[in-house]
C-alpha cells in the first residue's frame, strides 16, 4: 500500500479452533484464523477501504500463516511485527444463536506485548478502529489504543465486552476514557450496555454514551436493528434478515469494520450503518469469525433486496 490507509485496525489476531458439536476426544475440528481485529479489518477492506492492521504475531509458522491470510483478505500487513512468543488461540462451537462465550488461551500472547511504539511511522488514516478486547489483553495494548485514538481523522470504538478477559468495572472505565475521543461508539444491547452503563434500553444507553462525550453512537440490538444517535436525534436502522444462519461469531466485528470502512470513504453515518448491517447479516452464513466476509457488491445487493422487499411489504 502506498500512502496513508483509509482504515487502521488495532488488535489481536487469534488462531480459531472450531467445531459444530461439543468438544470431545479424537474429534475433527476446523482450523481458522480470526479474532475481532482480523474480522473487522477484513470487513473494512471488503467494503472498499484501504485497510491496515497493527498488531504483533509470533515469529513462527502460525505468525506467518496469519500474515498470509491477511494478505489474502487484502489487508496491509506492513505494521505487523513478528516477535518471539506464543500465538493467542480461542476455541468455539458454531453458534447460530449468538449467545455463547468463547474459551481463550491467550495470556502472554505476542499481541499482548503491543505498545504505542508499534504505531511509529504509521501515516495518519481517515479512521482508526479498536475494541475493548484489545484494551483487555494487556495494559500496554490499552495504551496503544489510547495513542491510536487521536492518530486519525476519526476514531471508532467497539466496547466488545468479554467477561472472561476483564471486569465490567474496568471495561466501563476504558469506555468512559475513550468515548470523548470517538466519532462513533458501537455498544450492543441489552447485555453489554447493561454491564457497562447500567442501561438495558438502547435509547437510554445511547444517551449515556453521548453524555460520556462520544460524537455518535450506534447501538446494535440484534434482530431489533441498530439505534443511531448522532446528537440531533435517534433513528432506528432496521435489522436485515440473514439468508442463512450458521454461526454468529464475528458478526459484530464485521458490522464495525464495514461501518468504519464506509465512513472512511465518505458515506453518511446512517448509510454506513445500513450497509454494515447488511454485511453482518451475510457474514453469519459462514462458520467462524471470518468464515464469510461478503464483498461490497454482495453487501449492496443484499441491502437493496431488503429495501425493495420492505417497500413491497409497506405498499
Read off the pLDDT of residues 102-146 as tens digits, 9 standing for 90 and up.
788 888 999 999 999 999 999 999 999 999 999 999 999 999 999
**Domains of the chain in sequence order:** 7-20+30-314 (3.40.1190.20)
Question: Nearest to residue 121, comparing CAs of 37, 4, 9?
Answer: 4
Entry pTM: 0.94
User: Which is more confidently placed, 132 or 2?
Assistant: 132
The CA R_g of the chain, rounded to the nearest whole Å, is 18
Q: Does residue 312 register a pLDDT over 70?
A: no
Q: Quickly state the pLDDT bin for 267 (edges 50, 70, 90).
A: very high
Is the dihedral angle over the CA atoms 256, 258, 261, 266 positive or is it negative? negative
pLDDT in tens, 242-254: 999 888 889 999 9
Q: Exposure string (b/e) for 186-198, b if CB count within 10 Å is 16 or more?
A: bbbbbebbebbbe
The Cα–Cα gap between 219 and 81 comes to 33
Mean pLDDT rounded to a whole number for the chain: 93
Percent of the chain, pLDDT > 90?
Answer: 80
- The arithmetic mean of pLDDT across residues 53-60, rounded, is 97
pLDDT per residue as tens digits for the range 81-102: 999 999 999 888 766 666 566 7
Percent of the chain's residues with pLDDT above 70: 95
Among 17-21, 153-157, 265-269, name the one with the lowest average pLDDT: 17-21
Please count the other Cβ atoms lying within 10 Å of the Cβ belonging to residue 212.
Answer: 17
Task: Give residue 95's pLDDT.
Answer: 65
pLDDT band at 68 (very low <50, low <70, confident <90, very high): very high
CB contact at 8 A, 70 and 13 = yes
Amino acid at each position: 500500500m502506498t500512502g496513508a490507509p483509509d482504515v487502521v485496525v488495532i488488535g489481536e489476531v487469534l488462531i480459531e479452533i472450531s467445531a459444530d458439536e461439543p468438544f470431545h476426544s479424537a474429534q475433527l475440528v476446523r482450523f481458522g484464523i480470526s479474532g475481532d481485529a482480523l474480522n473487522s479489518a477484513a470487513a473494512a477492506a471488503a467494503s472498499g477501504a484501504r485497510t491496515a492492521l497493527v498488531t504483533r504475531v509470533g515469529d513462527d509458522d502460525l505468525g506467518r500463516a496469519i500474515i498470509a491470510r491477511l494478505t489474502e483478505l487484502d489487508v496491509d500487513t506492513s505494521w505487523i511485527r513478528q516477535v518471539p512468543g506464543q500465538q493467542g488461540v480461542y476455541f468455539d462451537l458454531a453458534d447460530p444463536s449468538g449467545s455463547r462465550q468463547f474459551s481463550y488461551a491467550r495470556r502472554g500472547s505476542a499481541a499482548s506485548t503491543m505498545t504505542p511504539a508499534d504505531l511509529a511511522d504509521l501515516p495518519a488514516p481517515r479512521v482508526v478502529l479498536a475494541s475493548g478486547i484489545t484494551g483487555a489483553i494487556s495494559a500496554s495494548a490499552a495504551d496503544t489504543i489510547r495513542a491510536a485514538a487521536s492518530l486519525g481523522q476519526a476514531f471508532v470504538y467497539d466496547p466488545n465486552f468479554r467477561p472472561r478477559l476483564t471486569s465490567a468495572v474496568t471495561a466501563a472505565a476504558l469506555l468512559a476514557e475513550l468515548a470523548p475521543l470517538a466519532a462513533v461508539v458501537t455498544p450492543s444491547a441489552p447485555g453489554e450496555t447493561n454491564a457497562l452503563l447500567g442501561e438495558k434500553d438502547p435509547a437510554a444507553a445511547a444517551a449515556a454514551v453521548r453524555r460520556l462525550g462520544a460524537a455518535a453512537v450506534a447501538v446494535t440490538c440484534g434482530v431489533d436493528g441498530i439505534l443511531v444517535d448522532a446528537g440531533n436525534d435517534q433513528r432506528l436502522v432496521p435489522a436485515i434478515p440473514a439468508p442463512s444462519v450458521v454461526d454468529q461469531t464475528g458478526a459484530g466485528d464485521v458490522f464495525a469494520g464495514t461501518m468504519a470502512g464506509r465512513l472512511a470513504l465518505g458515506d453518511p453515518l446512517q448509510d454506513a450503518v445500513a450497509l454494515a448491517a447488511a454485511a453482518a447479516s451475510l457474514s453469519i452464513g459462514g462458520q467462524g469469525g471470518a468464515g464469510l466476509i461478503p464483498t461490497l457488491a454482495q453487501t449492496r445487493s443484499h441491502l437493496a433486496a431488503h429495501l425493495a422487499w420492505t417497500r413491497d411489504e409497506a405498499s
